[in-house]
Amino acid sequence: MCPELDAPQRADARIGAVLRLPARSLDRRRFRLLDVLPAYLAVRLADAVTETEREAYLRGVYTGRHQWTANFDGVQSTLGRAWYAHLEEDRVDDYFGGAAESDACVERFVPGLQAKMLALASSLVEAPVAQRLGWCGPGVHVFPAGNEVSFTGGEVHFDTEGLSEEQLAARTPALSFVLMLEPPDAGGGLRVWDAMFAGDSHPREPDASVASATITYEPGELVVIDSYRLHQILPFSGATDRVSATMHLALEDGQWEAWF
Ligand SMILES: O=C(O)CCC(=O)C(=O)O
Ligand SMILES: [Fe+2]
């Protein structure tokens, strides 16, 4: 294995930097995600989808624009429904009531994307991955150019919203996957910190003594982080929306399950 490392922004990082691998290392089984992830802030898999696939997915996302779900007064939209957004907006009934339609919509406009995300995850965790029963499967985030998230960046957060109190207490293994379909013109990377969930769901940005790294996404790249790791989408500029497919995973009773 010949890992390519993105250096952390402090030399004394307790854990390593970001591990960056070409997609072929997946085929060749030259690394095991679950073994290496604890030692890194994130794992990046370059060219996780072909350029042809990426372009087709992206086109489909925009063809389905009239079916996007607007969240948080339109600062972001999704194709398919995102659990954390519905939870925070008190729209849990819409999430579950609309789950089948959400999946149908993603499959209609971006055929094969959900299966691709599940297959990539399954390949990486080296086990079957099933969609969480009754929940929405993988979906797409659109953060529009020239809108709030582009100016301020996203919230500093953990991806713990889809985990029950029991799962949180047990620190059930949980992973977040982001497949970048279209990065913005500049900025819009993912900042990841050497800081893990410790019970506070509304964390502040750590001070500079906490090591962090910034992932500047390449088109077609898949990024995996531990869902308990602190992270934030950074501000971005230019006229291009930030479009990414997202999926969360948790290991429940020995079975990996996925949702958006
Ligand atoms: O799009 C990204 O880079 C991360 C998205 C994210 O943090 C989330 O969906 O929870
Ligand atoms: Fe997140």
Mean pLDDT by 10 residues, the chain (260 residues): 58 66 75 92 94 98 97 95 96 97 98 98 96 98 96 97 96 98 98 96 93 95 97 98 98 97
Q: How far is the CA of 183 from the centre of ligand 2 (A)?
A: 16
Residue 178: which CATH number? 2.60.120.620
Q: What is the pLDDT of residue 234?
A: 98
Q: Is residue 75 part of a domain?
A: yes
List the residue whose alpha carbon is closest to atom 9 of ligand 1: 246
Within 6 A (CB) of ligand 1 lie 141, 159, 178, 190, 231, 233, 244, 246
Does some domain include residue 9? no
Residue 9's pLDDT is 63
Report if residue 1 sits inside a domain: no
Instruction: Identify which of 190, 230, 234 to mutate to test ligand 1's pocket (most ligand atoms within 8 A of the CB).
Output: 190
Q: 233: domain range?
A: 16-259
The ligand 1 atom at the shortest distance from the C-alpha of residue 159 is 10
pLDDT of residue 99: 97
Number of domains in the chain: 1
Residue in the block written with tokens 């990082």: 13
- Cα separation values, 203 from 35, 229, 236, Å: 27, 11, 22
Q: Per-residue b/e over 121-138, b at no fewer than 16 CB within 10 Å?
A: bbbbbeeebebbeebbbb
Residues 6 or more apart whose CB falls under 8 angstroms from that of 196 comprise 158, 226, 228, 229, 230
Output the CA 244–ligand 1 centroid distance in Å: 8
In a domain, 11, yes or no: no
Q: Residue 241: helix, strand or coil by DSSP?
A: coil
pTM: 0.95
Q: Is residue 130 part of a domain?
A: yes
Q: Which two tokens stand for residue 124?
A: 């990486």
Per-residue confidence (pLDDT) for residue 112, from 0 to 100: 98
